[in-house]
Amino acid sequence: MDEQSLILEAQAGNSKALAELVKLYEKTIYSFAFKVCRNPEKAENTMQETFISMVKSLKQFDGKSKLSTWLYRITANHCLMEYRKRKHNYVSIDDDDALISEDSVADWANVPSFTIENSELKSVLDNAIQKLSPEYRIVFLLRDVEGLSTEETGKITDLSVPAVKSRLHRARAFLRKEISQTFKK
Amino acid sequence: MKKQQVTCKEVMHHVCESLGEDLNSPHCFAIKAHLEECSGCRDYFKSVEDTIDFYRKYNVEPTKASHLRLMNLLGLKDTE
Ligand SMILES: [Zn+2]
């Protein structure tokens, strides 16, 4: 059965079709939630909340957007809500000049290449992205890591295309700088 | 056509913004030309690409146990 028919069947109350839909998206949603929270328990909790919301409001899903876009949106909103509850202080990345300096280029020479066993690099990546406020983090993850278009990312986050681009550009420059500074010798 | 002058700093900014996007405006042609000549900017461009690539490769999957908890929570049967 294709996705469209699965959705229609699930909306009509077919629990087998619903289970198929959950299985279709569970890896994507878990992995996205993990990338936002950087923590397995929080990722699992967010995944559960996302699918609970999906089951509750699937009948209202009109198919105008993709189901994946809809699920990403629920997940992103859930993560943002969790972060707002906790009131973090994130580094300000409004100053482009602080993010990009011409003498920072050489610092990349000692950065290792990524392997799944390299726990040092992984923890650097975790730390760097956690300094980024979730509003920037989510844009970077949707656009660059999940590979969604700028327009889709805008739809999910309620941002205009120029706003997505500007956040993306700052998030990239910030992460790059964090990583390079860690490995600077 | 007037030759556009761009600085390294401008290239770094723009390169960030346009990674993975279409480079077709005259300004972008000037940037491409700059990139061909300036190894500093090329290195910067590459390091931003590496950054994105790191986060792409850093993937995780739910465990079998968390899959089962999810299905259970939703009251759904796991039919293989
Ligand atoms: Zn240059």
Tens digit of pLDDT for each residue in A29-67? 999 999 998 889 999 999 999 999 999 999 999 888 899
Report pLDDT for B9.
74
Report pLDDT for B75.
95
A50-65 CB burial, b ≥16 within 10 A, e <16: bbebbbeeeeeeeeee
CA distance linking residue A109 with residue A101, whole number of Å: 16
Cα A159 to Cα A54, A84, A106, A153, B65, distances in angstroms: 23, 18, 34, 8, 36
B contact residues 11-40, partner A, Cβ 8 Å cutoff: 12-13, 16-17, 19-21, 40
Contact A16 B16 (CB under 8 A): no
CA distance linking residue B43 with residue A103, whole number of Å: 12
Tokens of A74: 């629920």
At position A139, the amino acid (one-letter code) is V
Report pLDDT for A174.
92
Contact B48 A172 (CB under 8 A): yes
- CA-nearest residue to A38 within chain B is B60
CA distance linking residue A93 with residue A170, whole number of Å: 7
Is residue A72 within 8 Å of A148, Cβ to Cβ? yes
Of B53, B58, B62, the CB nearest to A47: B62
Report pLDDT for A55.
95
Tokens of A71: 């699920």
| Confidence at A99, pLDDT banded by 50, 70, 90 | confident
Of B17, B44, B73, the CB nearest to A48: B73
Task: For residue A125, report the distance from its CA to the centre of ligand 1, in Å.
Answer: 27
Instruction: Provide the terminal-to-terminal Cα distance of chain A, rounded to the nearest Å.
Output: 55
Q: What is the pTM of this model?
A: 0.87
By C-alpha distance, which of A110, A83, A168 is closest to B55?
A: A168
Residue A156 has pLDDT above 80, yes or no: yes
Q: What domains sit in chain A, N to C, each tagged with a CATH number?
A: 3-87 (1.10.1740.10), 90-184 (1.10.10.10)
Report pLDDT for B3.
55
Of A104, A122, A172, the CB nearest to B58: A122
Mean pLDDT in order along chain B per 10 residues (80 residues): 65 64 69 83 86 93 96 86
Report pLDDT for A42.
92
Task: For residue A94, report the distance from its CA to the centre of ligand 1, in Å.
Answer: 23
Report pLDDT for A108.
84
Report pLDDT for B1.
46
